[in-house]
Structure 1
Amino acid sequence: MEREQEELQSLGLFGIYREACMIIFKWRRIFSQITLSLVLPLSVIFLAHIESNVLLSRIFNMEFVIHSTRADNPIHKRFYHRVSSEWAYFWLFKFVYFTFLLIFSLLSTAAVVYTIACVYTAREATFKKVMRVVPKVWKRLMVTFLWTFLVFLVYNLVAVLIFFIWAVTDGDNTVSVVFFFIILICYAVGFVYLTVLWQLASVVSVLEDKYGFKAMLKSKELIKGKMWVAIVFFFKLNFSLYATQYVFQYFVVSAWPLRFEYRIGVGLLCFLLLLMLILFGLVIQTIIYFVCKSYHQESIDKSALSEHLEVLLGEYERLKPQDIQLKESEWHTSKIRATFASSGSQLAFSVKKAITKNST
């Protein structure tokens, strides 16, 4: 991110990729530390989601056996008593999975965004400083996530209502099928758009004083003009992530007839690729933020950004308006006191001079 603002606004998708690679390579030490401490657990959690797929498949098999056998069958009885506990384990696993996924994704986002901002402002970025900032920024990111979750919830409820109305009113004909696919495409476009807004709003929450719904509105303004760049990046990144997960599940987890050492090798390759993809994605979404600001001719004030980073770090406390008024009142008070003191000393000197003159 060592480019000037004029150069940033002209960066396309491949230019952003090249910029991300240059930053990661040049600052590989700090990014390696962030990867080992935050991105690595996030990758493990991401791959752990395969366990839920395996568990769900086992539950469906049990349900099939239960419905296809008689009630007095011993297999039916055994599976009937097991399926409820399997469902409980499944939902518990899902809850734990999404909780840790959210925590480490927000922590990783905070660490990478802060580091990129330090690189851009030529500030010293050490792992200790980054980890001091992350807990403070994490709260802002959580507020933004909760607002995003609420928006997604409303969006999905409206989508379900529309699909329900379609299912009730439309008949079984060609027009109905076409209308269904139109609704489905519109839903997918809206879902991708909201996801892109959330990613950019996360960066806004770290680098600006806006978070929550205000950060989403800010990201909505920033993304204009660079929407296709963000969408293409979103599809390429998510396709790569899920392709890696699929290869890991198919060749490592599933009963694929591969030798054990080959499965270990494929698993390590998938894991390393996942590490690089997650780190690469976090760096790129931060660069896209700066590109969008440059594209809209918004001034990227390095001194103001550096001051904001100092506030996050706790090295600098920004003065509030009431603090400024207090400082001004204190200055006026001290000035009045100095004036009175000066006048008093002059008066005392005059009196002393008059007394001396009269005595002589």
Structure 2
Amino acid sequence: MDLAAEELQFLSIPDILKESISIPKQSPKTFYLITLTLIFPLSFAILAHSLFTHPILSQLQADTTAATSDWSKLLVFQFFYLIFLFAFSLLSTAAVVFTVASLYTSKPVSFSSTIAAIPSVFRRLFLTFMWVSTLMVVYNIVFLVFLVLLIIAVDTQNVFLFLFSIIVVFLLFLGVHVYISALWHLASVVSVLEPIYGIDAMKKSYELLKGKTRMGFAIVFVYLAICGVINGIFGSIVVHGGDDYGVLVRIVVGGFLVGVLVIVNLVGLLVQSVFYYVCKSYHHQSIDKSALCDHLGGYLGEYVPLKSNIQMENLDA
């Protein structure tokens, strides 16, 4: 992040990755504690989730007349898992984005200051997430409609309807899902660094992605693909590989994959932060570091001027 603001727009994906990886070196202790307390539990939960649900699902599949208590146990577990997942996802995002922005403005960084800022940042991220969730619900409804059309096409042997449904389902699953994810990740950074959140952050994210949509799409797609591969390997060896692999092998492989996912999630959050500055630079929207520093100080209860020029274009919108 030592580059001039005007030069950030010319960064390629490898350059963004290189810049992102170098950021933790500026405050290794802070990022180590963030990784240990927030990103590690998140990554462990993502992979370990299937370890706990697999026995329950196996029992339900083996016994079609399973007791209501078994279904209740599965639903309760899923409910608390989703709460834990979303909570730690938002907490990790808040911590990393705030810390990277503090380093960008040369503001003193520490784990305690990051933790102190999280409660205020979390509320903004949560409201933005709720709008993204609404958008995802609409997307899933449309996805299910075309999935039903696909099933109907198979039953009626309508070739045209079948091909049309296949194309739409594929585009919805791959294109729209990845694009919404890119919007969400960028809107999360906007919610922390600018005086807007919720649907306004989504609108801002949409504007920032213009001209950098392909890059944002590629970054999110690669991230999701890597996470998918890690989950696939974990499932095949650790969860379902009991007959082919020993306990020691499964423990070693499981621990290794959790470590890899921790690194992937940390780098992903760092790339997400750097990509925001790249988009700002591309649209020639300068960031006043002193104003941004005051904005970040507001999360810590520090003095914030009545009028901030972090993003004057937001006041004109």
| Structure-2 change in CA distance of 1:53 and 1:201 (3 Å) | farther
Q: Which amino acid aligns with 1:224?
A: K
Quote how far apart the aligned CAs of 1:185 are: 2.5
Q: Which residue in the other structure is 2:29 paired with?
A: 29
Q: Is the 8 A contact 1:16 1:284 kept in 2?
A: yes
Instruction: Give the Cα–Cα distance (whole angstroms) in 1 for the partners of residues 20 and 11 of structure 2.
Output: 12
Tell me, yes or no, if structure 1 residue 16 matches structure 2 residue 16: yes
Instruction: Give the Cα–Cα distance (whole angstroms) in 1 for the partners of residues 78 and 304 of structure 2.
Output: 41
- Please show how residues 160-309 of structure 1 align to structure 2 within 5 Å: 160-164=144-148, 171-188=156-173, 189-254=175-240, 255-309=242-296
Q: Is the 8 A contact 2:153 2:161 kept in 1?
A: no
* 1:189-214: CA deviation from partner (whole Å, max 9, x where unpaired): 11221111011111110000110000
Quote how far apart the aligned CAs of 1:288 are: 0.6
Quote how far apart the aligned CAs of 1:264 are: 2.3
Alpha-carbon RMSD across the aligned residues, in angstroms, is 2.0
Q: Which amino acid aligns with 1:193?
A: Y
Q: Is the 8 A contact 2:149 2:165 kept in 1?
A: no
Q: Which amino acid aligns with 1:16?
A: I
SS at match of 1:263: helix
Quote how far apart the aligned CAs of 1:19 are: 0.4
Instruction: Give the Cα–Cα distance (whole angstroms) in 2 for the partners of residues 248 and 48 of structure 1.
Output: 9
Instruction: Give the Cα–Cα distance (whole angstroms) in 2 for the partners of residues 39 and 225 of structure 1.
Output: 31
Q: Give the length in aligned residue pairs.
A: 304
Instruction: Give the Cα–Cα distance (whole angstroms) in 1 for the partners of residues 152 and 251 of structure 2.
Output: 51
The structure with more radius of gyration: 1
Q: Which residue in the other structure is 1:49 paired with?
A: 49
TM-score norm. by structure 2 comes to 0.90
- Please show how residues 60-99 of structure 1 align to structure 2 within 5 Å: 60-63=61-64, 80=65, 82-99=66-83
- Aligned pair partner of 1:100 in 78, 84, 94: 84
Bigger mean CA deviation after superposition, 295-304 or 252-261: 252-261
TM-score norm. by structure 1 comes to 0.80
Q: Which amino acid aligns with 1:30?
A: T
- Please show how residues 129-144 of structure 1 align to structure 2 within 5 Å: 129-144=113-128
Q: Is the 8 A contact 1:244 1:274 kept in 2?
A: yes
| Structure-2 change in CA distance of 1:283 and 1:256 (3 Å) | farther
- Structure 1 unaligned segments of length 5 or more: list them: 64-79, 322-360
Q: Which residue in the other structure is 1:38 paired with?
A: 38
- Where in structure 1 do 4 or more consecutive aligned residues deviate above 6 Å? none
SS at match of 1:9: helix
- Aligned pair partner of 1:126 in 101, 107, 110: 110
Instruction: Give the Cα–Cα distance (whole angstroms) in 1 for the partners of residues 289 and 185 of structure 2.
Output: 22
Instruction: Give the Cα–Cα distance (whole angstroms) in 2 for the partners of residues 53 and 231 of structure 1.
Output: 32
Matched residues, percent identical? 38
Q: Is the 8 A contact 2:102 2:293 kept in 1?
A: yes
Quote how far apart the aligned CAs of 1:94 are: 0.8
Q: Is the 8 A contact 2:94 2:118 kept in 1?
A: yes
Instruction: Give the Cα–Cα distance (whole angstroms) in 2 for the partners of residues 106 and 292 of structure 1.
Output: 22
